[in-house]
Amino acid sequence: MIDFRSDTVTQPTQAMRDAMHKASVGDDVYGDDPTVNRLEDQVAERFGFDRALFTSSGTQANLLALMAHCERGDEYICGQDAHNYKFEGGGAAVLGSIQPQPLSNQADGTIALADIKAAIKPDDIHFARTRLLSLENTIGGKVLPMEYLAQAQSLAFNHGLKIHLDGARVANAAVAQGVDISDITQHFDSVSICLSKGLRAPIGSILLGDERLIAKARRWRKMLGGGMRQAGILAAAAELAITTEVERLAEDHHNAQVLANELAALSEFDVDVPSVQTNMLFARVAEHLDVHQLATHLKQQGILISPGRTLRLVTHADISRADVATFIHQLKQYLSLHRG
């Protein structure tokens, strides 16, 4: 299947499968897994942090960060479209008793600095204690400007806040800007990086922070059922994800641009081509088209999409330039039969 639903569907490389087969393992809860330990040490050193923690998912990594930064009754500021607010089951509130303060994301994915400053609560018993600013990069496929990251870091520091990055696709952001991932992560007290999206590992995210934060996150991970045993089998693939798969993301970005241009040429789709910066695009579908019928037709042709009035289409390692051409061809065939 040609699967445009998400980059989470990527298959691990043969090298990853071989590394998993040969991985040296131990009990990670005891700290005995050499492959996990090597992964955590390498990633922490590469991105300039004291420690790293291997987790089962990005949702878990974000939750651990929030619960390590904040106590019960504290508050974190985030974007209205932030994944750790909108798409992670309300975990911070349900499991951490942490109040989210969502603010509107601007068209470029940023949160206005003036809005952040205005949302910080005074030291008053009537209010939750604002402890943390959480940003996401990329967000909706958009890359946060480097200058903005520096300004947000300064704002957080000047108001006594910590700053967290949901960097699920931070590698995409780095490649799109032609910078190293560490140039982005240097602006944050903690960072979560997903290894199982465009970087192709089968499972896993990494959480970065200082010694105190990671020690606290490790305790929370155990309490939340995230302690893993012979996790080196997974860490072996994760290590290859972060060391061999980053530069390849440029291909996904190029394919997304090609796809955006092709869709924009069709009257039934409205695509803001300049806003397509990485591997994700959004296409508004004309009202007269039955999107669910379209999805059913495409599935019969071996193509998967998530139907909606706005289609989110994601390119990744398992979608080639030829696959994009096949999708456009099948789409044009369908449209030729269903135009008024």
pLDDT tens digits, one per residue of 9-45: 999 999 999 999 999 999 999 999 999 999 999 999 9
Query: Is pLDDT of 116 > 70?
Result: yes
Distance from the Cα of residue 200 to its chain's centroid: 13
Residue 340: pLDDT above 70? no
CATH code reported for the domain at 2-244: 3.40.640.10
The predicted model scores a pTM of: 0.95
pLDDT of residue 329: 96
For residue 5, the tally of other CB atoms under 10 A from its CB is: 14
Classified as helix, coil or strand, 67 is helix
- The 10s digit of each residue's pLDDT in 214-270 is 999 999 999 999 999 999 999 999 999 999 999 999 999 999 999 999 999 999 999
Question: Would you state the pLDDT for residue 338?
Answer: 80
For the chain, the straight-line distance linking the first and the last C-alpha, in angstroms and rounded, comes to 30
Measured CA to CA, the distance from residue 62 to residue 220 in angstroms comes to 12
| Cβ(247)–Cβ(175) below 8 Å | yes
Q: What is the pLDDT of residue 14?
A: 98
Report the pLDDT value the prediction gives residue 337, as an integer from 0 to 100. Answer: 86
Give 96's pLDDT tier (boundaries 50, 70, 90). very high
Assigned CATH for 249-338:
3.90.1150.10
- For the segment 195-207, the average pLDDT, to the nearest whole number, is 97
Domain ranges for the chain, please list them. Answer: 2-244, 249-338
- Starting at the earlier edge strand, list the strands of the sheet with 269-271: 269-271, 280-285, 310-314
Q: What percent of the chain has pLDDT over 70?
A: 99
Counts of helices then strands in the chain (DSSP H, E):
14, 12
